[in-house]
Amino acid sequence: MTSYTAHFTPGTRIRVKADYPETRGPCHIRTPHYLRGREGVVERPLGAFRNPEDLAFARPAATIPLYHVRFDQKGIWNEGEAGDTVLVELYEHWLEPAA
């Protein structure tokens, strides 16, 4: 099991990994498809929880920091009203610092 330390502070610009585990076989992931590869801003840390990707298969699960991350809706869909946002809980292993 890997252990994780919370790396991101509020205001940090992050990118959601453009990873598609669903193409590699049975899996359970809580990172919505529409956010993969998108950039957002860490709103606040939400504590740490056991990794659902392992819990779903009753495997030993590491405890991973969880964050509320904010994304601009227009940046995702290229439509909608400027200023509208979506706020999503994401686990740290899905996030990387935005370039």
Asked whether position 10 contacts another protein by CB under 8 A, the answer is: no
Residue 90 CA to residue 45 CA, distance in Å, equals 10
Asked whether position 23 contacts another protein by CB under 8 A, the answer is: yes
Which of 84, 97 has the CB closer to another protein? 84
Applying the rule CB under 8 A, the residues between 45 and 74 that interact with another protein are 46-47, 49, 52, 55-58, 66, 70, 73
The least distance separating another protein from the CB of residue 48, rounded to whole angstroms, comes to: 9
The runs of H, that is alpha helices, within the chain are 52-55, 73-77
The least distance separating another protein from the CB of residue 16, rounded to whole angstroms, comes to: 9
Task: For residue 21, give both structure tokens.
Answer: 């585990």
Task: For residue 72, give both structure tokens.
Answer: 């601009």
Task: For residue 69, give both structure tokens.
Answer: 């991350």
Contact residues for another protein, defined by CB under 8 A: 18, 20, 22-23, 26, 28, 30-38, 46-47, 49, 52, 55-58, 66, 70, 73, 76-77, 79-81, 83-91
